[in-house]
Chains A and B, each alone.
Chain A
Amino acid sequence: MAEFPEKELMNSGHNACPGCGAAHAMRYMLKALGKNTTVNIPACCWAVIPGVYPSRNLEVPLLYTAFETTGASSSGIRAALKKRDDVDDAEVEVVGFAGDGGTADIGIQALSGAIERNTDTIQVMYDNEAYMNTGIQRSGVTPEGAWTTTTPVGSKGDWKKQPKKEMMEIVESHNVPYAATVNIAYPDSFVEKFKKAKEFSGPRFMHIYAPCPTGWRARPSDAVELGRLAHKSRFFPLFEIEHGKYNIYKEPKEDEVIPVKEYLKIQGRFRHLPEEMVEKIQKRVDTKWEQLKKKERFTQEELYE
């Protein structure tokens, strides 16, 4: 294992909630990518976390942008860097850093455009599974069964009825050279995968699992534990796709795997779920896991060898 980078590019003093997974995400990402990084951030929690004018807690250039523009903004930065005489643009990593709504809902068009154009950029979705900055409204990436302020359960059981939008698959269908899921509960592999992403050029996509204790109605001290349970229950599998080849990493051993129920039960946002819904979620997780395993096998063995 490579040494964990000591250099901090995110300073102390931020506006995140206690236990914020997104705060970890930025910190670890910048440790991996280093100072030759630009970050463009749309409307999201991270539009507020760096601090209110004139404060700012990042040691890299930070361009705030409109909600739906992350991919396009990264394209613009990259295009301009290519024209700069004082910059070796190949030495600069251009990162678009957006939440799940900004990436998968309102920003999906700009993301699709940027990666289809083969823009040299890392597009990051830090996934806290709802519009958290505006007060916990459902996004397309909110998991099935969750309470949010716009899926308020009520007396009619009106929780989020649709499964989580699968951004890794959507991105993969654009034929990007590299995409990976990472989890803030595992800083070593988090940093390792970002460093790996940095070795590629062209469009890369990183899906960060970033628990939000505030929005998930969990204890702030459980943020990292939530990450571990999501991983062990296979609710959020860790995998990467390199030129079409799937690779599951940090795979939980069979005897380590826990029921999804263990993950759901420490979150208030799932507390209303009847037993049959928990079973349904478990079934979906199992199916998705099987699919992922088959994709891995197919792309590693049959398709490419």
Chain B
Amino acid sequence: MSEYKIVTGNFASAYGARLARAEVVSAYPITPQTEVVEKISEFVADGDMDAEFVKVESEHSAMASCIAASATGARAYTATSAHGLALMHEMLMWAARARLPIVMTNVNRAMGPPWSVWADHLDTIAQKGSGMMQFFCENNQEVLDSILMAYKISEDEDIMLPSMVVEDAFILSHTREPVEIYDQELVDDFLPPLDMDQKVDIEDPKGFGSLVMPDWYMDFAKKLEEAMMEAKDKVKEVNKEFKETFGRDPGGLIEEYKTDGVDVLMITMGSISGTSKDVIDELRDEGHNIGLARLRTFRPFPKEEIRELTKDVNVVGILDRSYSFGRAGDAAREIKEAIYGYNSPLVKNYIVGLGGRDLTPEVLELIMEDSLELLDEDPDQDELDPEVEWVDLRIDRNKWRR
């Protein structure tokens, strides 16, 4: 029977891995992911989850053992955060290039120094070229839902790519919300056991990952990209099937919130989206023609959807909870690149909430009002100053308070 539990994002991750019947779990503790490994340890210790839990000595080894387990035909799961993800970097690349359908949770946390354990997307964004799919979640239910969907997408024979399900540190990881823990039989129907053609098998010995000459490598890389492109349709398809099975629609590649015919479109990722939607409602009540789109998948990047959404929009305000030093926020950069040559709205990038800085409804409203003002002022893109604005820095707090 399906039941509601009041759980943190971390527990939602653990329940997701359990419902998905992950067979091999390999993980190393890091704040704020620790509850995931603790909860799964409890599941295994109580016999509620039939998994081999490899309690490794580093995140690098966590992903390395997931890779070997997956290559040997097991459904593998791991979870980490920030520095752990950075330490895994080599193996994330490896998992993708080995075309292994591993699913992991990453709890978004800022990179040090200075030490910070709070929310920041740079850890995940820095892995955007790894070949892993990335699903940014708005709430705890979506964390669980995304893990189930991620396995289904990753394990599709046309895709065979690893996935990262992303939850914001503390805001989701340590905040309890009601989450529906689905009936196991329903999940089993939705997500059948993993059955890989090619695996480490003594009855059918093969080699996996051998040296290739330059005459081959590039073609393998292209196949990975083709799988990534194919995954866009697969995300939508699985999203639809998920909705039919469980009655929830997490939003596919990009969730649209009151975007029809808007003049100003705000684009967000992750947990700030929930609060942002409330602010959108308030502003719309005040008569402003503003809507919101939430990027769920940063990889594959929904460029066609972005083009469609921005077609008749005058101003696009993009909130990035990370910063690519020397350039801009990555969502903004990628969105601009996607619409170049198609649409030409005014685009402003807001850098927000780095290292867990609080994003109150007040601050979000001031950001959106700033975008609405651009609509009235109608400057050219090259007149935007600043084009990339760091919001609510200590030095100009007054600007971001009523």
Cβ-defined partner of B61 (8 Å) among A48, A64, A109 = A109
Question: With contacts A53-B211, A66-B94 known, is A73 near B57, CB below 8 A?
Answer: no
| Cβ contact of B72, chosen from A48, A69, A81, A110, cutoff 8 A | A81
B368: min CB distance to chain A, Å: 45
Within the complex, what minimum Cβ distance (angstroms) separates B349 from chain A? 36
What separation, in Å, do the CA atoms of A210 and B224 have in the docked complex?
A: 38
Q: Is the CB of A72 within 8 A of B61?
A: yes
Contact A83 B90 (CB under 8 A): no
- B241: shortest Cβ distance to chain A, in Å? 26
Within 8 Å of chain B (Cβ to Cβ): is A296?
A: no
What's the Cα separation between A74 and B66 when bound, in Å? 10
- The answer to whether B247 has its CB under 8 Å from any CB of chain A is no
Q: Is the CB of A79 within 8 A of B74?
A: yes
Q: With a CB–CB cut-off of 8 A, which chain A residues contact B55?
A: 117
Of the listed stretches A16-24, A30-38, A188-196, A213-221, name the one at the interface; the rest are far from the partner chain: A30-38
Q: Mark B5-46, 1 if CB is under 8 A from A, else 0.
A: 000000000000000000110100000000000000000000
Residues from chain B with Cβ under 8 Å of A74 in the complex: 68
If A61-B202, A80-B68, A110-B57 touch, whether A69 touches B91 (CB-CB below 8 Å) is yes
Indicate if B207 sits at the interface (CB-CB under 8 A).
yes
Judge whether B173 is part of the interface by a CB distance below 8 angstroms.
Answer: no
A203 within 8 A of B: no
A124 at the binding interface (Cβ < 8 Å)? no
B61 touches A71 (CB 8 A): yes
Query: Contacts A63-B71, A84-B74 hold; do A113 and B201 have CB atoms under 8 A apart?
Result: no
Q: Is the CB of B207 within 8 A of A50?
A: yes
In-complex Cβ contact of B207 among A58, A87, A92 (8 A): A58
* Alpha-carbon separation in the docked complex, A59 to B203 (Å): 10
Enumerate A42-100 residues with CB–CB distance to B below 8 Å: 47-48, 50-53, 56, 58-66, 68-69, 71-77, 79-84, 87, 92
How does the 8 Å CB contact mask read for B312-340 relative to A, with 1 for contact and 0 for none? 00000000000000000000000000000
Candidates B57, B58, B64, B216; contact of A53 at CB < 8 Å: B216
Q: Nearest Cβ distance between residue B208 and chain A, in whole angstroms?
A: 5
Question: Binding site of B, secondary structure by majority: helix, strand, loop or mixed?
Answer: mixed
Task: Name which of B26, B65, B202 has the most chain A CB atoms within 10 A of its CB.
Answer: B65
Q: A62 to B205, Cβ gap below 8 A?
A: yes
CB atoms of B212 and A68 under 8 A apart: no
Q: Which of A48, A83, A109, A117 contacts B211 (CB 8 A)?
A: A48
A183 located at the interface, meaning its Cβ lies under 8 Å from any Cβ of chain B in the complex: no
Within 8 A of A (CB), among B41-65: 51-52, 54-58, 60-62, 64-65
Q: From B68, which residue of chain A is reached at the shortest CB distance? A: A76
With A38-B200, A66-B94, A109-B61 as known contacts, state yes or no: A58 contacts B205, CB within 8 Å: yes
Residues of B contacting A62 in the complex (Cβ-Cβ under 8 angstroms): 205-208, 210
Q: How far is the CB of B68 from chain A (nearest CB, A)?
A: 3
Is the Cβ of A35 less than 8 Å from the Cβ of B72?
no
Do B202 and A69 have beta carbons less than 8 Å apart?
Answer: no
Residues of B with C-beta under 8 A to A61: 200-202, 204-208
Is A40 in the interface zone, CB < 8 Å from B? yes
In the assembly, what is the distance between CA of A58 and CA of B72, in Å? Answer: 17
In the complex, A35→B202 CA distance in Å? 7
Q: Do the beta carbons of B209 and A113 come within 8 Å of each other?
A: no
Identify 13 residue pairs between A and B in the complex whose beta-carbon atoms are under 8 Å apart, listed by A's number. Answer: A36-B202, A37-B202, A51-B210, A58-B205, A58-B207, A61-B200, A62-B208, A69-B65, A77-B68, A79-B69, A80-B23, A80-B24, A83-B74
- Given contact pairs A71-B61, A113-B61, enumerate 7 new A-B contacts (beta carbons under 8 Å): A35-B205, A58-B205, A63-B200, A66-B91, A69-B61, A69-B67, A74-B68
